[in-house]
Structure 1
Amino acid sequence: MHKLRSLLTVLGLVFGVASVIVMLAVAEGASRQAQAQIEALGVSNVILRSKEPSSSESEINFRSFEQDFGLTYDDLRRIEETIDSATSVTPLREFRQEARYADQTVDARIVGVYPSYFEASKIEIVLGRPIEPADLKQRANVCVVGEDIARNVFRGKSPLGKSIQVDNTHFFRIIGVQGYKTPSAGIGSSMSASDLNSDIVIPLTTDRSRIGDVITRRQQGSFSRQRLELSQITVGVVDRHQVKTTAAALEGLLAKYHPREDYAITIPLDLLEQAQATQRIFNFVLGATAAISLLVGGIGIMNIMLANVSERTREIGIRRSLGAKQRDIIFQFVIETASLSLFGTLIGVIVGLAAPSLVSYLSGMETMVTPWSVAIASLVSLSVGIVFGIYPARQAARMDPIEALRRM
């Protein structure tokens, strides 16, 4: 009889269920995205990164004005010879440099690698071929470019066979193009944000023989020189259960030769476990926050049902005088409450399933609805609605039939 009032009554549950589903979908999407970036590093890997020491520990050769720090080829040799649990050891060196083709100029990241780099980093070659062992052995002037460089510099034309100039000095023939990879945020204490789509990847031997270990940067009339042999060494481990022991062995090995701690060790497995623990806490906090609206919805149902009891005193008195027991009255009002709760829950689920797609469209955030979030929100909503309807039902059942009939 009171359709609008019934609809307004269940709105609290509608928004409560929808908010639980949407908030957990946003949390799940953000967590999955962070975990995907970590898993891309390889949960069976240990990543060693060069890092610039603090100013108090920095050593500068004032004769050549060179700052010397970071991982070295000697470190690479020691790791290959002493770490038995390592299945692969993949070094690379990276630095930013200006690249030019015809009248097009881009700020690119030059990356010297071993052929195993593409598999270790899960990089797909969509055009041409990757760097091969023969390129490494011959110190070939070849490169693989990222998708952004291929698109922005060559404007839809095939870059294969073209030569790109680095630092106005060195020319590299393009032999392949990398597939697009989503830029990653900084992960861990040593992993900086990176965009692989602006990379120019060359053989590591070519990098050392053509460009050298010293990187010179000129800016606004000043210049700096840094001697950096290797930027990163990725150590693949046989079994993920041996990752932490391997990391401890690497820490002990490097500590002997790097007293200034100009390196950092990142264990993706640790980061993944931390991300999963953070997700559980985040889900609990968001779920508890959204559940408050379900509580408010339950209070709204109880309020309306108490009003219904007052309005239907005559009906209750007549039923009781004709032989209805207390349990019949309780059953009548609980069924009504359960119907309202079910109606509000169904609408809330529909809204909750549709809203994450809208959030993703408007904000660009990744969202992911999980079945357990829908199940929990629905069960809590139904439970809250029924529990808050029991009190009004008991109040109606306890009503004295004679007193109820006097109010007719």
Structure 2
Amino acid sequence: MMRFWQTLLLGVKSLLLQKLRSALAALGIFIGTTTVIWLVAMGEGVSHDAQQQILELGATNIIVRSIEPHSSEAAGERVKTYGLTRADYRRMMSNIPTIVRAVPIRELRREFMVGGRRLDAKLIGCTSDHLALNRLQIARGRWLRSDDDRENVIVLADGTAKRLFGYEDPIGQKVRVESDVYTVIGQTKPREASAAVGGSLEARDYRFDAYIPLETFRHRVGDQIMTRTGEGFNFKGEVVELTQITLTVGSVDEVDETASIVSFLLQKYHDQEDYAVVVPKELLRQAERTRTMFNVLLVVIAGISLLVGGIGIMNIMLATVTERTREIGVRRAIGAKRSDIVQQFLAETLVLTGGGGLLGVLFGLMCGPIFDFVRNTAELISPDLLPPIVHTLEPRIALWSVFLSLFISLGVGLIFGVYPARRAAMMNPIDALRHE
């Protein structure tokens, strides 16, 4: 250990003889290390925003739907009973701890009437969580509350309200839906239709919807729906308790496992395939692609930045070996081994790269305050000077980037310091002493 410290101190003293050259050599590693940490922080910030947008689209959701079975046995039945039940909902909530939110709905096409205006729209029985799940916003009035159960209240989507009431305020007015009358308590803001994502999520149009409490739907509309088929008194019916249950889990990693448990529970209590468990695989793959893309980009940046610094270190050390040829000859003449020469020059290289790396890490950790200062200064000069994404970007320091940049800087010192050190050690002592 004493010998190691002596070699290290000797390397520091040798570097201090050429302070400017040593500082410039360490500057390359300093810039490379700082660049890695800063760019990783920027990349993590952008990646985090992208991940949040993907998650908002429903990457952590599992959609369980009721589907009508097509078995030959059920083909002749006048009233079919199928799909999800309220018991299924209770079993999922009590047996699957990874579920953080479950939103059941029941929906049907119905004719809405206000005065002489008529509209065929979708009547949706839902809970208070339906608003946040579908990223709906209230334009007038309020949304459904838990104490609205069994009350004849309704919230209209923007398109539904405009078709039935024009530009008149619908709050407090009555809407007839088939034989029931509901009081309008709210109207949602316009919401763009969601596009289909791969084969996982279907497109959804929110313009012509109307929302009532799920319990109200159950008691006013009921589970059994009869529809006329053809002329006369031919009717066909179906009994469905829930159209869909949307489950939300805590993280993307829990989606597949939770979906498997849901499928197991449904298989156990359903004697026919009258349900579908839909996992947003396309969104999950997009999230994984985004994460991988940023990781690869950051590794490339780290390699290029520190490679440039390493080449600078190697150049300086080769020049140092040439300048100190006579010193190397004297050391060899008084008994220094080749390994001692190698250790001396490697120690000097590690001091340069280690010192530059540590300073780079300290400066890199100041990424957030410096970025905020530069952004605020640019906004004072001109609000339109920066792209919109920069105004909301928040750098996120990744701990792994700190250790990676420091490790790479030391590795660069070893790799690019070996050749100059070996070149110094392989010198002939007699030729080295004759060197002018």
Compute the TM-score of the two structures, normalised by the length of structure 1: 0.57
Q: 1:48 aligns with which of 23, 48, 64?
A: 64
Q: Return the offset for 1:14.
A: 5.5
Point out where structure 2 has 5 or more consecutive residues left out of the alignment. Answer: 1-19, 229-235, 376-384
Partner Cα separation in structure 2 for residue 47 and residue 109 of structure 1: 19
Deviation of the 1:133 alpha carbon: 7.4
Q: Which position in structure 1 is the counterpart of 2:244?
A: 232
Return closer, same or farther for 1:191/1:368 CA change in 2, 3 Å cut-off: farther
Q: Which residue of 1 aligns with 2:396?
A: 369
1:368-407, aligned counterparts within 5 Å?
Answer: 369=396, 371-392=398-419, 394-395=421-422, 397-398=424-425, 400=427, 403-404=431-432
1:113 Cα shift? 2.7
User: How far apart, in 2, do the equivalents of 1:35 and 1:251 lie?
Assistant: 28
Any conservation in 1 of the 2:112–2:175 contact (CA below 8 Å)? yes
> Which residue identity is paired with 1:248?
F
Q: Kindly indicate whether the alpha-carbon contact (under 8 Å) linking 2:40 and 2:398 is maintained by their aligned counterparts in 1.
A: no
Partners of 2:356 and 2:239 lie apart in 1 by 69
Q: Report if aligned partners of 1:16, 1:294 keep a CA contact under 8 Å in 2.
A: yes
**TM-superposed deviation, 1:304:** 2.7
What pairs up with 1:140-159 in 2 under 5 angstroms?
140=152, 142-145=153-156
What's the secondary structure of 2:184's corresponding residue? strand
Quickly say closer, same or farther: Cα 1:9–1:47, change in 2 above 3 A.
closer
Equivalent position SS for 1:161: coil
Q: Which residue does the alignment assign to 1:200? A: 210
2:83 to 71, 83, 91: 71
After superposition, give the CA deviation of every residue in 1:359-387 in whole Å (9 maximum; x if it has no partner). 99439998873533433443344333333
Kept after mapping to 2: 8 A contact 1:185/1:193: yes
Q: Deviations over 1:65-103 (max 9, x none)?
A: x9x89627xx44x6489999479997422367898999x
1:249 maps to a residue whose letter is L
Q: Aligned equivalents of 1:363 and 1:151: distance in 2?
A: 38
Task: Tell whether the 8 Å contact from 2:354 to 2:406 is kept in structure 1 after alignment.
Answer: no
Alignment map for 1:273-312 (pairs within 5 Å): 286-287=294-295, 290-312=298-320
Give the letter for the 2:244 counterpart.
Q
**Partner in structure 2 of residue 251 of structure 1:** 267
Alpha-carbon separation, structure 1, partners of 2:200 and 2:239: 16
Equivalent residue of 2:324, what SS? helix
CA separation of 1:341/1:231 partners in 2, compared to 1, >3 Å: closer, same or farther? Answer: same
**Are 1:265 and 2:292 matched, yes or no?**
no
1:224-251 residue CA offsets vs partner (Å, 9 max, x unmatched): x9978442146999xx999966652322
1:47-196 maps to which residues of 2 (within 5 A)?
A: 48-51=64-67, 71=83, 75-76=85-86, 79=88, 85=94, 91-94=104-107, 110-113=123-126, 130-131=143-144, 136-137=149-150, 140=152, 142-145=153-156, 160-162=171-173, 172-176=182-186, 192=202
C-alpha distance in 1 between matches for 2:69 and 2:393: 37
Q: Deviations over 1:4-49 (max 9, x none)?
A: 88767776655554454444444444445555666975xxxx8631
The alpha-carbon distance between structure 1 residues 365 and 236, as it changes in their structure 2 partners (threshold 3 A), is closer
Instruction: For residue 396 of structure 2, give the secondary structure of its aligned residue in structure 1.
Output: coil
Counterparts of 2:324 and 2:237, CA distance in 1: 89
> C-alpha separation between the residues in 1 aligned to 2:371 and 2:264?
48
Please give the root-mean-square deviation of Cα atoms over the aligned residues, in Å.
6.4
Deviation of 1:308 after TM superposition, in Å, equals 2.0
Take 2:420 and 2:411, find their aligned partners in 1: how far apart are those partners? 15
Contact 1:302 1:392 in 2 (8 A): no
Rounded Cα–Cα distance in structure 1 between residues aligned with 2:164 and 2:348: 74
Give the partner amino acid of 1:263. Y
Q: In 2 relative to 1, CA 26–155 (structure 1 residues): closer, same or farther, beyond 3 Å?
A: farther
Q: Offset of 1:143 from its aligned partner? A: 1.2
Shift of residue 345, structure 1, vs aligned partner: 5.4
Match of 1:221 in 2: none
Q: For residues 412 and 307 of structure 2, what CA distance do their matches in structure 1 show?
A: 8
Asked whether the 8 Å contact 1:178–1:197 carries over to 2, the reply is no
SS in 2 for 1:312: helix
Cα distance in 1 between the residues matched to 2:205 and 2:160? 11
What SS does structure 2 have at the residue aligned with 1:111? strand
SS in 1 for 2:413: helix
Separation (CA, whole Å) in 2 of partners of 1:393 and 1:231: 74
Deviation at 1:193, TM superposition (A): 5.6
Change (3 A) 1:318 1:125: same
Given that 2:326 and 2:433 are in contact with CA atoms closer than 8 Å, whether structure 1 keeps it comes out as yes
Matched, 1:338 2:350: no
Q: Which has the larger radius of gyration?
A: 2
What is the Cα deviation at residue 120 of structure 1? 9.3
